[in-house]
Structure 1
């Protein structure tokens, strides 16, 4: 397109009332919060996010569960279909840049009024030697029709780039679904191990309570204890048996939660409860906060969303300028099938170029532009929000792990002390140097502390899962 034609188009644009096109600013920005250089003064050079999840969590049973979840989970399958939808949108946008060509086959009959220019002319015109144009004139056509919008202002290119960015964002969105899925499976798995250990602790306590109940019954028969003591020991035993049944129900529900994530109907979940008290597999290393931008799939998704919204904004701006279209047709046309393919006599073609500038719908175009502008600003704020959220998640879990380690040490000491107190209270009670209330209290305190210790260990494992996820650990 030469400068003369370009100037004519620009003049039409201005004359059509689009003089404000230059004021359609697409260079948007917001205030950005600088990312801290370290996580709470932890200057680690490497991050556990660089460790493959199969190495970070080495429990074979857990690995099998995760593999099954990745194959069968319904949310993940839905996310994969969103990728296919986005891929199709890219192909559609690519197709809009190319000429649209179609096969046109048609036929019809026309009759002109006698007292019209066409009718009067046809009455005295020979369509073939010795034959005038018939009153009912057939018309048959077989050929190709083509149309092409020339992307002068880059609208179609920006729409294609937007679709591509949305496609890449959908991939990162799927990676984030996988990240959440694996984390959820791991969290429920460790919760299930904790419940198994709680059940074992309760059952051991029930056994000790039964033995204590037998002792107090014998002492009642010997006149060294009364019925109140028997009732108190029996009541404590019944309470523990209730806890046993409640824990069994929690185990069943947690197994079903895992099975749901795995996309399968309820069935037993293989596991070894001893794994809960094994050592954490890797030392927690955080790396530097800026690595979150590359490691976290939700942040990468937000970044692609910004790019897509920017291209949408550019396309909305280009909509204010005239559309340049070319239409063309070539084929065979005749009033009789006998003459349809007689070339060049039946050959017909047409070429037309159009320049369409918006006049009436400017307010609609402005609304579309303002919407695209607001969408881009929203995408920018969402990007900053996700960076902040990622940093806060890491900071929270880091603090949680530090505190849980201290609590775990203290709970172990408390558990050992109370275990000794249970044995001591039993012996003292047998020799009448301790009351039955002291025995009951010692047993109850020991049970409660052991359950709390299991809970702390469970929380510690879950914290290792969450911090790995918060750092953008490699789930894929």
Structure 2
């Protein structure tokens, strides 16, 4: 009786010591999350948000829509991201299974021969199955049964690990949405670049016609002794220079087409498009909405938020490593040295039920390191979350400013093109009447060509700015 009391007292003391020493997790220095954003993007307070508009509505060009639709089905980077989602989904399943009981079946057969002059051998020799018959030697062993193990998740360590896996799965889904947003923007920007190159090529061809016409006039004036051979050669050189320019543009067109084909995961082929759509497709006004809407619309912000939630749960999991863990194991089956006796009940029945309590007592360095690492990773996730929000706000603010400045620049460049286009005719008339020299005509034609190029480039930048602010607002993935 005294021994039983001693065992109970010792067990209680050990349990208290284990619980006390294990539950003391080190103190941590934590950082608070700051996800506050300004109330508006400057003076405007627009509640409408173009980021919520579906891409098929935002983009009106049917050819562009077809390209985007093909890319969303075939793009390799997007498909790689989808497989990453499957990986994180499987991780959730694995974590879920960890806090459920593990149950399995087991069967085995073997044979054993122990030494005669051992404690086990001496005991076996005195055992008789039937009167006058000793236990067989060597001794066979047959087993069939079921077993189960279960870690009782009293501190929610395993459940929190599963929740962290769920958060990372949701983060991977948002990562896919972010890939979709960027993919749509990249295709649209490349498409409008292609249209701009088509328009520039048309301008070059038109300018070649104007220059060749001027060259013929100079040649005629030379025949009439009203111009020199120098003027003829200068005009010829200008025509050749402009002709060479069209091949450079054609190379840019080929590379831009193939960049789009790569995004569509297909080999080089012509991109179906209407060059006139560059002048007609303006996509309408863009509404920035309120900065707080970025927290919901931007997939990269939502991804960072999910990763932050997972990192917080990782700290809970790491803290639970300091606490005692309770495990239960059980088994039930049949065990005998002969198949003839294997299923005899109750003689061959084998069962067990064991519970254990384990807690770290000495040398908890590895557990502490994991705990500190989890806290450091959470701090990293906080900074990443805050940086993502700041970056999103700045992207929208930059594009809003860009749209306004490009609109003013386009208006001035359009007037410049109009003036220089008129000056081509004026300089030609003056040259015919010998009131202007050939250099004035050449410079006027060159300035007109450059100004028309710049006008197309500015218009392309306007289209890109609209696409980029749509992406910055989180549009495209819904």
Bin for the TM-score computed over the shorter chain = over 0.9
Check 1:366–1:278 CA distance in 2 against 1; reply closer, same or farther (3 A cut). same
For residue 11 of structure 1, what is the aligned residue in structure 2? Answer: 17
Please report how far the alpha carbon of residue 265 of structure 1 lies from its aligned counterpart in structure 2 after TM superposition.
0.5
Alignment deviations for residues 356-387 of structure 1 (CA, whole Å, 9 cap, x no partner): 22245511111111111111010011010010
Alignment partner of 1:258 is 2:260: yes
1:130 paired to 2:136: no
Other-structure match for 2:441: 439
Aligned: 1:146 with 2:144 = no
Deviations 1:330-358 (A, max 9, x none): 11111011111122221111111111222
The answer to whether the 8 A contact 1:9-1:322 is kept is no
Q: How many Å apart are 1:449 and its aligned residue? A: 0.1
CA distance in 2, matches of 1:361, 1:249: 67
Please state how far the C-alpha of 1:10 moved relative to its aligned partner.
4.9
Q: Please state if 1:410 is matched with 2:422.
A: no
- Whole-angstrom distance in 1 between the partners of 2:386 and 2:418: 48
Partner SS, residue 442 of structure 1: helix
In 1, are the aligned partners of 2:164 and 2:311 still within 8 Å (CA)? yes
Q: Is the 8 A contact 1:332 1:346 kept in 2?
A: yes
Give the conservation status (yes or no) of the 8 Å contact 2:60–2:281: no
2:376 is aligned to 374
Of 111, 114, 117, which residue of structure 1 is paired with 2:116? 114
Q: Does residue 295 of the first structure (1) align with residue 297 of the second (2)?
A: yes
Q: Secondary structure of 1:420's partner?
A: helix
Shift of 1:225: 0.9
Task: Name structure 1 gaps, 5 residues minimum.
Answer: none
Shift, 1:7, TM fit: 9.1
Partner of 1:347: 349
Tell me which residue corresponds to 1:30: 32
Contact 2:127 2:135 in 1 (8 A): yes
Q: Decide which of 6, 20, 37 is 2:24's aligned counterpart.
A: 20
Distance, in Å, in 2 between the alignment partners of 1:182 and 1:33 is 27
Number of the residue aligned with 1:276: 278
Say if 1:107 and 1:138, in contact at 8 Å, map to a contact too. yes
CA distance in 2, matches of 1:124, 1:428: 133
Map Cα deviations across residues 430-468 of structure 1 (whole Å, 9 max, x no partner).
111110001001100000000000000000000000101
Partner of 1:338, secondary structure, is: coil
Unaligned residue ranges in structure 2 (runs of 5+): 1-10
Aligned equivalent of 1:210, options 209, 212, 215:
212
In structure 2, distance between residues paired with 1:235 and 1:470: 46
Q: How far apart in 1 are the matches of 2:73 and 2:454?
A: 36
Poorly superposed stretches of 4+, deviation over 4 Å: 5-10
Match of 1:248 in 2: 250
Alpha carbons 1:24, 1:317 under 8 Å: kept:
no
Any idea what SS the aligned residue of 1:115 has?
A: coil
Are the equivalent residues in 1 in contact too, given 2:24–2:322 (CA < 8 A)? Answer: no
Relative to 1, partners in 2 of residues 1:7 and 1:286: Cα closer, same or farther, differing over 3 Å?
A: farther
State the SS of the aligned residue for 2:311: helix
What is the TM-score normalised by the length of structure 1?
Answer: 0.95
Which residues of 2 match residues 304-323 of structure 1 at below 5 A?
304-323=306-325
TM-score, normalised to structure 2, is 0.95
Q: In the alignment, what sits opposite 1:396?
A: 398
Match of 2:3 in 1: none
Cα root mean square deviation, aligned: 1.7
| Map of 1:54 onto structure 2 | 56
Distance 1:9 1:432 in 2: 112
Counterpart CA distance in 1 for 2:365 and 2:242 is 73
Instruction: Tell me the matched-pair count.
Output: 469
